[in-house]
């Protein structure tokens, strides 16, 4: 197992370096000049001032040198400064990342719990109430975009009924989690419903497939109670494909849900990314893109670990 984990970690290092090169050179070779966003319009007409600013920021150095400097700063935790606001990017992440973790973490917890429970019963008893409910949620969730569902929730429960706030993370005087709970309900509900559809469908289909396996028939023929067959044999062996979907939800913990955060004015990383793109704030774009890429690599590594635990044959392949 240790050898397997070390081998997987060693594979991630060159992949992370390759992704960092793609992100850096793709952004830096774009035709947009970030310097023009840092100076007022009258100063933009002075080439000498622009050249001095580029020199001070190290933008006149060859691109490979700029890349090595940026990579070294990333490794040491120096993410640089935002061009549009002048803030340290590490301070922006420290301010916005907890909001995204709170929103997406709750949505992932709720969607995983509901999807695994409902998908298990739907696959165990095809045609039953749980199966019909699971298929209905899956069809609606896939057909209706999560941003449209969020807008519908906003119109009904905030603007028409006035039961819940329309957006934002907290109001003055709100300190504890329970104080901020009304602000969480609508965005978490919208994000949870969007995550539910695919996860329920995968869980149901995986359970259905496992129910027809020979080891399940053998366990039943030996007189093993049905609940033990369901939880001890079917559920565990159905988790493989489901874990893949769950693990690849992890990048949302960094990137957030851009549309949901925008609709509900949630001050998270997703909203920050939209602002950075609209203002061509390439340092923020590069850092957030790299963090999301690292989360995807971590999700891939986590999938390998979970699969090796569920199926020891993976470690020998």
The CATH number of whichever domain residue 154 belongs to comes to 1.10.3720.10
According to the model, what pLDDT value does residue 278 have?
Answer: 75
* Interval 181-208: pLDDT, tens: 778 888 888 888 878 887 888 888 887 7
| Residue 237, in any domain of the structure | yes
Number of other CB atoms surrounding residue 45 within 10 Å = 10
Looking at per-residue pLDDT, the higher value among 30 and 70 belongs to: 70
Q: Confirm whether 56 is domain-assigned.
A: no
φ and ψ at 172, to 5 degrees? -55, 135
pLDDT-derived band at 32 (thresholds 50, 70, 90) equals low
Contact of 80 with 27, CB cutoff 8 Å:
no
Lowest mean pLDDT among 15-29, 164-178, 296-310: 164-178
SS (H, E, C) 276-306: HHHCCCHHHHHHHHHHHHHHHHHHHHHHHHH
pLDDT at site 127: 77
pLDDT number for residue 155: 85
Number of structural domains, the chain? 1
d(CA 293, CA 248): 11
Residue 74 lies in a domain: no
**pLDDT tens digit sequence for 60-75:** 677 788 888 888 888 8
Does 246 have pLDDT greater than 70?
yes
Instruction: Return the pLDDT at 222.
Output: 73
Whole domain around residue 233: which residue ranges?
Answer: 98-273
Read off the pLDDT band of 93 (50, 70, 90): confident
* 35 falls within a domain: no
Checking if the pLDDT of 38 tops 80, the result is no
User: Is the residue at 137 inside a domain?
Assistant: yes
pTM of the model: 0.74
| Long-range contacts, stretch 302-309, CB < 8 angstroms, 24+ apart | 302/247, 302/250, 303/243, 303/244, 303/247, 303/248, 304/4, 304/8, 305/5, 305/8, 306/239, 306/243, 306/247, 307/240, 307/243, 308/1, 308/4
Residue 42 pLDDT: 58
- Residue 161 confidence (pLDDT) above 80: yes
Query: What was the pLDDT predicted at 40?
Result: 61
Rounded to an integer, what distance in angstroms lies between the CA atom of residue 229 and that of residue 212?
A: 12
State the average pLDDT over residues 219-243.
Answer: 73
Q: Quick one: average pLDDT of 233-246?
A: 74
Exposure string over 158-196, b if 16+ CB within 10 A, otherwise e: beeeeebbebebeeeeeeeeeebeebbbbbbbbbbbbbb
* The length of the chain, given as a count of residues: 317
Q: Is residue 163 assigned to a domain?
A: yes
């Amino acid at each position: 197992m240790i050898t397997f984990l070390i081998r997987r970690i060693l594979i991630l290092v060159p992949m992370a370096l390759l992704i960092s090169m793609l992100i850096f050179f793709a952004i830096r070779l774009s035709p947009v000049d970030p310097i023009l966003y840092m100076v007022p319009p009258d100063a933009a007409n002075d080439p000498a001032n622009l050249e001095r600013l580029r020199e001070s920021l190290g933008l006149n150095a060859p691109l490979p040198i700029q890349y090595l400097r940026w990579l070294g700063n990333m490794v040491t935790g120096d993410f640089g400064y935002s061009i549009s606001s002048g803030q340290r990017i590490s301070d922006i992440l420290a301010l916005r990342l907890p909001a995204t973790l709170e929103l997406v973490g709750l949505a992932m917890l709720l969607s995983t719990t509901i999807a695994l429970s409902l998908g298990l019963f739907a696959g165990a008893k095809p045609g039953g109430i749980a199966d019909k409910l699971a298929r209905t949620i899956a069809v609606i969730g896939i057909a209706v975009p999560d941003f449209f569902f969020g807008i519908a929730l906003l119109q009904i429960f905030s603007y028409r009924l006035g039961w819940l706030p329309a957006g934002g993370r907290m109001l003055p005087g709100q300190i504890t989690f329970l104080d901020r709970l009304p602000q969480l309900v609508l965005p978490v509900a919208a994000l949870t419903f969007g995550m539910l559809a695919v996860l329920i469908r995968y869980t149901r289909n995986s359970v259905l497939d496992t129910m027809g396996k020979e080891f399940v028939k053998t366990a039943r023929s030996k007189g093993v109670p049905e609940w033990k067959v369901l939880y001890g044999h079917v559920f565990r062996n159905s988790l493989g494909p489901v874990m893949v979907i769950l693990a690849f939800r992890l990048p949302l913990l960094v990137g957030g849900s851009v549309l949901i955060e925008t609709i509900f004015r949630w001050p998270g990383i997703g909203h920050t990314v939209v602002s950075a793109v609209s203002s061509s704030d390439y340092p923020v774009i590069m850092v957030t893109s790299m963090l999301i890429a690292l989360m995807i690599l971590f999700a891939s590594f986590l999938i390998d670990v979970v699969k090796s635990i569920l199926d020891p044959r993976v470690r020998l392949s």
